[in-house]
Structures are given as structure tokens and as C-alpha cells.
Amino acid sequence: MSAPHDDDRLLDHSYDGIQEYDNPMPRWWLYIFWGTIVWGVLFWLNVPGIGVGKGRIADYDASVAAAAADMPAEPSAGPDAAALLAASQDPTAVAAGRTVFGAYCSACHGPDGGGVIGPNLTDAYWIHGGSPEAVYHTVNVGVLEKGMPAWGPTLKPDEVNAVVAYVISLQGTTPAAPKAPEGTMDPPADAPSGDS
């Protein structure tokens, strides 16, 4: 080190003839020293099972659970027919489905489901089946080669459910410009179609 400072004070003890100065540690060093102790206490409080904090593993588990909750459910796992039929008679679900239909379906199926490029959805004739499961399946996976997109990957599961409920609720309604029936007669069981 450099030459002794003016304020170097020789302590008055001597061990085996060795004497030492009383040089305090620099302020910056002391602040870091005390800081690490305070940090250590706070960190220790965050150790799982001891302190107030839940710890990194719990934090990790919580973020995994949050991410899992954000993931859409498997698109193939649809609701059963009874649930879809019930939803088709539930004004809230039907209203939600009408919104989805207006946004994504009316361009091809008409604003009232009467059909444009896509077939008429209000009659009891279906190309791919009129049962709730069949309608759900068609909407979910689409008929890509015929120009009907798959909506399962695009919409949220509850949006698919709602729009299927809405499509079922269209049974027996009278659109402004109905397209001629296509497919075979297959009314959704117990749907409000008047003839089932």
C-alpha cells in the first residue's frame, strides 16, 4: 500500500513485536457490508417454508398455472348435445353467438343465416348433419375443401359454443332471402324448429 496517512494512528499494543494501525474501513465498503446483511435477512425471509415469501418454486408454479389457464382447451373436446341445445334456448348464449356470427359468419351465411356463399342455416336441411354435435363439428373443423373455414383454432372455445348455439337457434326462422335447401333433412333434436 501507499505511505501511511497523517491520521494513521498506531495502536498501543504489540504482538510479538508487531504493531498495527487503527484504520477504519472506507465508508463505501461499510455500506456494502451492511447492505449485504440487510439483503441476506430479506432474502432469508423469502425462503420457502420459513419466511413470508413463497419462494421461487411457488412463483414458478404460479406462473405455470396462469399460463395453463390462458391456454384454450383442446378444440376437439366439445360440449355435449344437451348443453348445446340448452344454450340455443338461453338468450345470453344466443346473444353472444349472434355477435360472433355477425363478425365471422354473416359474410358467407348472410346476416340472418339465410345463406350466401355458404348454405342456408335456418332450414332443417344440412349437408353435414343438423344434430348439435354435427353442427359443432362442422364449425370447429370446417369444410376446408368447400370453403367453410375451421373456427376451432380461430375462436375461443366459448365463442364456438355460443355461435353453434346461435346457429341451432336459427332453426325455423325466416331469413330475408333464404337460399334453397341443401343436403338432407336433419333437424336438431328438440330445437325450436316447429316441426320436431
Task: Output the smallest distance, CB 150 to ligand HEC, in A.
Answer: 10
Binding mask 77-116 for ligand HEC (x = CB under 6 A): ---------------------------xx-xxx-------
Residue (55 or 116) nearer to ligand HEC, CB: 116
Q: Write down the least CB distance from residue 62 to ligand HEC, Å.
A: 35
- Is 117 among the residues that bind ligand HEC (CB under 6 A)? yes
Q: Tell how strand 184-185 and strand 125-126 pair up.
A: antiparallel
| Cα 70 → chain centroid | 3
The residue among 104 and 190 lying less far from ligand HEC, judged by its C-beta, is 104
- Residue 1, all three cell numbers: 500500500
Residues contacting residue 119 through CB under 8 Å, at least 6 positions apart: 109, 127, 179, 182, 183
Tally of helices (H runs) and strands (E runs) in the chain = 7, 2
Neighbouring C-beta atoms of residue 167, cutoff 10 Å: 27
Give the angle 40-42-43 at the CA atoms, nearest 5°. 60
Q: Establish if 151 lies at the interface with ligand HEC (CB under 6 A).
A: yes
- Regarding 170 and contact with ligand HEC (CB under 6 A), the answer is no
Choose between 46 and 113: whose C-beta lies nearer to ligand HEC: 113
Among residues 86 and 116, whose Cβ is nearest to ligand HEC? 116
Q: To which H or E segment does residue 37 belong?
A: helix 27-45
Report the residue number, 51 or 142, with the smaller CB distance to ligand HEC: 142
Answer yes or no whether residue 119 interacts with ligand HEC by CB under 6 A. Answer: yes
- Indicate the residue among 4 and 132 with the shorter CB distance to ligand HEC: 132
Judged by CB under 6 A, the number of residues near ligand HEC is 25
How many of the other CB atoms lie within 10 Å of CB of 193?
19
Which has the closest alpha carbon to 118: 132, 133, 135, 99? 135
Site for ligand HEC in 121-150 (CB under 6 A): 121, 126-128, 135, 138-139, 143, 146-149
CB-based contacts of 89: which residues, under 8 Å, 6+ apart? 169, 192
Binding site for ligand HEC (CB under 6 A): 104-105, 107-109, 117-119, 121, 126-128, 135, 138-139, 143, 146-149, 151, 163, 167, 182-183
